[in-house]
Structure 1
């Protein structure tokens, strides 16, 4: 059974997701359609890239990933198709695939070129048609032509300060638990941390009193290091861990955005606010 994933900024209030899925089921009834997310912030290709990055490697070969964030075709961006890691990615050439794939070598890049043949289709219908075609093992050459390269987008990357003692990163995503996901990757951190002790700070946090975080836990409950206290008593304590996608995450233990508050709300951190790791000698 073939798989098509959907990622969009449509939300779930409107009929858009249901209509898109219905069209896919009509075009490729044997395909399984799986949602990655429909809660991407409007037109936020960096957030969409982060979410797809965390999910796509778990899918089998020949999965088709349809990305419907800022997907309109216009004079500045065409529709593109990429085959990478034996999977297909369909999107507008707005920089999202450059963000998603980073510096990885892209095996095959194509520009979708069936718009005239599907003149009665709008952009969404055309992309759904392409996704269904690939899900049915259709040839890429029927819907696209080779393209030299993708549009470049400069992603906010974590950097090492000139003095070599600090990593400067930023907040790039807030999950449904209100945790702060940063652009500091584990492999980047490990390459400089070695045996150094360190402190993680949020310079623009609007709530004082958090201080700094001086260790990274493997599991959330590892914050409860003193066995004299029950684990629940550590609720709302700040912590840091690398999430399953390999990005540093700042959280508060058992934070709840709807009740007690979570890292984002309690600390007042906003998108792209700085996160600094200072290494001690």
Structure 2
């Protein structure tokens, strides 16, 4: 049976996650449920896409991913189900898929139409779970919705390139558990535009002329420990998801602090790469 994953902004204090899992098990006693995250910042679509984009590829093809962020049904926020990269996604049409599908086109999209039979103020529980269980039993998308060709585009937080290819302008889209600030500038875009040129990364009032591949790259292991870089040294790095990140070496939010707090780099703040 397919794995069903959950990505929500519900947190774990309230009953919501337990109710969703209980309903899935009531319909599919042998279901396999995996929590990707329930600590998405409330209604944060960009953060949702970043986390899910870097998690779903680790699951087997055919996995079913329920996205429960900003999921209330209204005229401007329909519900959709789709096949993307041989995975199923069930989510609101709020732009999250445009960020997930920036490089891969969905194979099929349907607008979910089972709401006529369901009155609900909790669509993740009452609608998304039913759709996920239908798919897990081998059901097709056409049964639960009408085929559509397009989905809502969210381009506000996409990086831009100057007309002369001298500058990439991006934004901080996520602050991780260590307080590191992650931008929407990918390594692929950086290499395509930079073409090996010298560069300067500007984030707030700080400047970086080197991008590391590992956090420990800033350490000179040939010198004594007393002479090495100390915890809290700022650096730029392409992280494991291959996005440009401004980090603090061995950051600890309880002691040293992270890039977000120490450098003032928060969600939506601008980060710029200038090539020479």
Does residue 243 of the first structure (1) align with residue 231 of the second (2)? no
Task: Give the superposed CA RMSD.
Answer: 1.9
Measured after TM superposition, the shift of residue 250 of structure 1 is: 0.8
Q: Which residue number in structure 1 is paired with residue 264 of structure 2?
A: 268
- Whole-angstrom distance in 2 between the partners of 1:13 and 1:121: 19
Contact 2:110–2:147 (8 Å) recurs in 1: yes
Residues 99 and 155 of structure 1 are in contact (CA less than 8 Å); yes or no, is this contact kept in structure 2? no
In structure 1, which of residues 217, 223, 229 is the aligned counterpart of residue 212 of structure 2?
217
Rounded to whole Å, the distance in 2 between the matches of 1:200 and 1:229 is 30
Please name the residue that 1:12 is paired with.
12
CA distance in 1, matches of 2:251, 2:122: 43
Deviation (angstroms), 1:81:
0.5
| CA distance in 2: counterparts of 1:50 and 1:106, whole angstroms | 17
Structure 2 CA distance for partners of 1:155 and 1:4, relative to 1, 3 Å: farther
Residue segments in structure 1 that go unaligned for 5+ positions in a row: 206-210
Query: Structure 1 27/96 Cα, relative in aligned 2: closer, same or farther at 3 Å?
Result: same
Where do 1:83-94 residues align within 5 Å?
A: 83-94=83-94
SS in 2 for 1:110: strand
- Does residue 180 in structure 1 map to residue 156 in structure 2? no
Q: Is the 8 A contact 1:3 1:32 kept in 2?
A: yes
CA apart distance, 1:5: 0.7
- Cα distance change, pair 234–138 in 1 and its aligned pair in 2 (3 A): same
Q: Which runs of 5+ in 2 are unaligned?
A: none
**What is the alpha-carbon distance in structure 2 between the residues aligned to residue 36 and residue 256 of structure 1?**
23
Q: Distance in 2 between matches of 1:120 and 1:237?
A: 50
Name the residue aligned to 2:275.
279
132-141 or 26-35: bigger deviation: 132-141
Distance of 1:121 and 1:140 partners within structure 2? 23
Aligned pairs for 1:27-176 (under 5 A) are: 27-102=27-102, 104-119=104-119, 122-124=122-124, 125-176=126-177
TM-score (norm 2): 0.92
Cα drift, residue 226 of structure 1: 5.5
Q: How does 1:191-206 map to 2 (within 5 A)?
A: 191-203=192-204, 205=205
Give the drift of 1:252: 0.7
- Alpha-carbon offset, residue 94 of structure 1: 1.5
CA deviation after TM superposition for structure 1 residue 24, in Å: 1.2
Indicate if the aligned counterparts of 1:201 and 1:277 stay in contact, CA closer than 8 A: yes
Per the normalisation by structure 1, the TM-score is 0.91
- Between the aligned partners of 1:260 and 1:217, the Cα distance in structure 2 is 20
Q: Relative to structure 2, which stretch is displaced further, 192-201 or 118-127?
A: 118-127
Match of 1:228 in 2: 223
Q: Secondary structure at the match of 1:141?
A: helix
Output the CA distance in 2 between the equivalents of 1:276 and 1:226: 31
**Which stretches of structure 1, 4 residues or more, deviate above 4 A after TM superposition?**
119-122
Work out the number of aligned pairs and report it: 274
